[in-house]
A and B are shown apart, each in its own frame.
Chain A
């Protein structure tokens, strides 16, 4: 492991931007392309929004923790909440599936996270919480490291 960081904040939607900036700065060490950076930023935004809206049902007392690791050219980021958990992960990952159409959630969050990451893991236990972990190889760093 070459570097790591942990960020903890409460589940307020204002903090979605904070989470993106922190992870973006961490990944910037690897000199990623604009596309790579903006894809990572999108994954973080989706996962943190999910934690706030679904995990904690907009209860701002919830705690969200982001743990990012850089290992060579690979970035691994875990976004963790201790909220209600996901009952059916497979269903949640289906494109266009949402439990909150009334607030115009598109149901595309998981599809976007899967498409923009090299690997996406979703661990969830009802009543305990959810951890979404993604890994992504950064192309510019890949050529440096090998």
Chain B
């Protein structure tokens, strides 16, 4: 699957996912994403899902796994622009509170405020 990662100033990492995220795809991207989090010393991870057309519970496993890695450095997670079906899946899984809507730039600014608190 296509995905790209951009490391912004202040240790903000944006991961943009495209297409379909299932068990098959998560197995392929997990290691790369994990490595970027550790190497970038990431404090805020934004999953931009606006170009993701499908996700099942494998996506929940992938995001929860990264939340665990970020916990060690007090890193925060934002789930940006998920589809309606994905929103339901996140809510069932207790991740509804991480959902935000809007542009990447606005969320980076807003979330930085939250992080720097």
On A, residues with C-beta under 8 Å from B are 13-14, 16-17, 20, 35, 38-39, 41-42, 45-46, 49, 52-53, 95, 103-106, 108-109, 111-112, 115-116
Main secondary structure of the interface of B (DSSP, over half): helix
| Cα–Cα, bound, A112→B89 (Å) | 7
Range of interface residues on B (Cβ < 8 Å): 20 to 34
Contact B89 A42 (CB under 8 A): yes
Contact A42 B23 (CB under 8 A): no
B104 within 8 A of A: no
Closest to A49 in B: B23
On B, residues with C-beta under 8 Å from A are 20, 22-24, 26-27, 30, 54, 56-58, 60-62, 64-65, 83-85, 88-89, 92-93
Extra pairs beyond A13-B22, A46-B57, A108-B57 (19, CB < 8 Å): A13-B24, A14-B24, A17-B22, A35-B85, A38-B54, A39-B85, A45-B22, A45-B23, A49-B23, A103-B27, A105-B58, A106-B57, A106-B60, A106-B61, A106-B93, A108-B60, A108-B92, A108-B93, A115-B88
